[in-house]
Amino acid sequence: MLNIPIMLLEAETQSNLFSPDQFAGYAVTAVITIFNVLLVFIVIRCFAYKKILKLIHDRQEALDAELEGAKKSREEAQAVVDTSKKTIDDAKRKASEIMEEAKENADRQSKAVISQANEEAQHIIERAEEDAARMKRNAFETMKDDITDLSVQIAGHIIGDAISKEDLQKSAAKHTEEILEQEVAKSE
């Protein structure tokens, strides 16, 4: 047989989850849980909190040190790059200066060589002209002497002893010299 009142009573007690007795059980569980949490917090705070904070602080310092080291390494690398660029730029500038100086030296040397060659050529021309003039004078002198001697001999044969040989030579030399000077003046 079924006991309906007992079943109803059981159903009532089971369906009444929010009864004061149930709430009291929940409250006790909540208080115990809060107490346990506080107890764990206090234990952690007393025994592990300082160690955890120290561990976190040490880790933060290590990270900061690594960041600072990386920053310094980056700055050093940038300084090396800047120095390298400056060195390369200086080397290019010096090479350009050396090339320009070499070009200027070559220009100066070529001008000096050309100038010296022109001077030497001018001296050679002057010497050649002087030699030619001297040779011409020598030739005229030789020719004058030969012509004078020849004219004296011819005049001596024609005139005979009427004029002395000495006067005849003087007169022939004078006239020969005048004629040769006129011829030289014409040829120049």
Please list the alpha-helical segments (H only) found in the chain: 4-15, 20-43, 49-159, 165-187
What is the residue range of 114's domain?
Answer: 26-187
Alpha carbons 43 and 173: distance in angstroms, whole number: 151
* Nearest of 180, 181, 159 to residue 168 by alpha carbon: 159
Residue 34 lies in a domain: yes
Residue 173: inside a domain: yes
What is the reported pLDDT for 53?
86
Quick one: tokens of 173? 């030399």
| Residue 179 placed within a domain | yes
Query: Residue 141: inside a domain, yes or no?
Result: yes
Is residue 5, in this structure, part of any structural domain at all? no
Residue 158 within any structural domain of the chain:
yes
pTM flag (> 0.95):
no
Q: Do 148 and 173 touch, CB atoms closer than 8 A?
A: yes
User: CA angle at residue 51 from 47 to 57, to 5 degrees?
Assistant: 150
Q: How many distinct structural domains can be found in the chain?
A: 1
Residue with tokens 């060659």: 117
- Whether residue 131 is contained in a domain is answered as yes
Number of Cβ atoms within 10 Å of the Cβ of 175: 13
Residue pLDDT tens, the chain, 188 long: 456 666 555 655 555 666 777 778 888 999 999 999 999 989 888 888 888 889 999 999 999 999 999 999 999 999 999 999 999 999 999 999 999 999 999 899 999 999 998 999 999 999 888 888 888 778 777 877 777 777 767 766 666 666 677 776 777 778 777 777 777 777 76
In a domain, 170, yes or no: yes
What is the reported pLDDT for 160?
A: 60
